[in-house]
């Protein structure tokens, strides 16, 4: 996932991963990690307690982007712009990955 076999499985590794793959954005790491955790937790609750299946794993990423943009409103103006730009970049990359996965799935089903 994400082009690496080094996906984090605890909070320390998540910060280390962010530092390695997103240098220079240290003040945004906590918000980004929190948004991903919150999005995963929300979808887990939706599937477990609401009996609504997750139709696409990218839903969690798009939900995290929405949370990041919402939380950016509580930051200084220049930080909010940078945080929204990061969310936009994440959303664009997730959309690209979603298209790649869809085309690979279509090719495999032929």
List pLDDT tens digits, range 24-65.
888 898 899 999 999 999 999 999 999 888 888 888 899 999
Can you give the pLDDT at residue 19?
84
Classify residue 1: in a domain, yes or no.
Answer: no
Angle at 88 between CA 87 and CA 91, to 5 degrees: 85
Classify residue 88: in a domain, yes or no.
Answer: yes
List pLDDT tens digits, range 58-102.
888 999 999 999 999 999 999 999 999 989 988 998 889 888 887
The number of folded domains in the chain is 1
Classify residue 101: in a domain, yes or no.
Answer: yes
Q: What is the mean pLDDT of residues 104-110?
A: 62
Task: Tell me: pLDDT of 3 over 60.
Answer: no
Domain that holds residue 83: 12-108
Classify residue 5: in a domain, yes or no.
Answer: no
Could you tell me if residue 2 is left (phi over 0), alpha (psi between -120 and 50 degrees) or otherwise beta?
Answer: left
């Amino acid at each position: 996932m994400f082009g690496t076999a080094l996906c984090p499985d605890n909070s320390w590794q998540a910060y280390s991963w962010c530092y390695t793959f997103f240098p220079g954005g240290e003040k945004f790491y906590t918000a980004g990690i929190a948004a991903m955790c919150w999005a995963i937790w929300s979808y887990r609750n939706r599937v477990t307690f609401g009996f609504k299946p997750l139709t696409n794993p990218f839903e969690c990423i798009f939900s995290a982007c929405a949370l990041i943009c919402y939380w950016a409103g509580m930051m200084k103006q220049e930080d909010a712009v940078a945080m929204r730009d990061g969310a936009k970049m994440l959303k664009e990359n997730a959309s690209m990955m979603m298209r790649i996965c869809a085309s690979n799935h279509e090719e495999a089903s032929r």
